[in-house]
Amino acid sequence: MEEGEEFRELMLEVFRTRMAFRRAMQRTLRKNHAGITFEMLQVLCSLWYEQGITQQVLSERIAKDKACLTNLMNNLEKKGYVCRKEDPTDRRNKLVFLTPKGEKFKEDIRPILGQVYEKAEHIIGKESIQTMLSELRTVYNVLENV
């Protein structure tokens, strides 16, 4: 094998795994008639952990460009799940919040999504997951410092 070939293979497998995860979540959303896409779910999940963040921060957290995020935000606003408010410290920024309807959606969908995590964890095993998690954190730290 060429120098660095194994690492390239690892990164390809990480990407393929991410895509498989996306497809699994998308299937779950469709099967449960959630009415949102995986990308919308990413926005909502970020807001489940922290509300009142700027669109710029949200864009960085879900790795989407501003135009893509604006489209996602418009769709989530139309569904009544999020609202944007002017940032009192900087009028150029908008802060993003879940609406009461968005909070209700969270309560309804989280147990359904949790089933995907629980099933995968049961099949893979907690010990294997801990090992992979540790190794992936090492890879992350190496890549952040290359």
Ranges of each domain in the chain: 5-144
E runs forming strands in the chain: 53-54, 82-87, 90-98
| pLDDT beyond 80 at 1 | no
Q: Mean pLDDT in the chain?
A: 94
Give me the CATH topology for the region 5-144.
Arc Repressor Mutant, subunit A (1.10.10)
Residue-by-residue DSSP string for 48-112: HH--SEEHHHHHHHHT--HHHHHHHHHHHHHTTSEEEEEETTEEEEEEEEE-HHHHHHHHHHHHH
Mean pLDDT to the nearest integer, 98-105: 96
Q: In this predicted model, what pLDDT tens digit does every residue of 43-80 receive, in sequence order?
A: 999 999 999 999 889 999 999 998 999 999 999 999 99
Mean pLDDT to the nearest integer, 2-13: 92
- pLDDT given for residue 87 in this prediction: 85
Q: What is the pTM of this model?
A: 0.85
Whole-number Å distance between alpha carbons of 133 and 146: 20
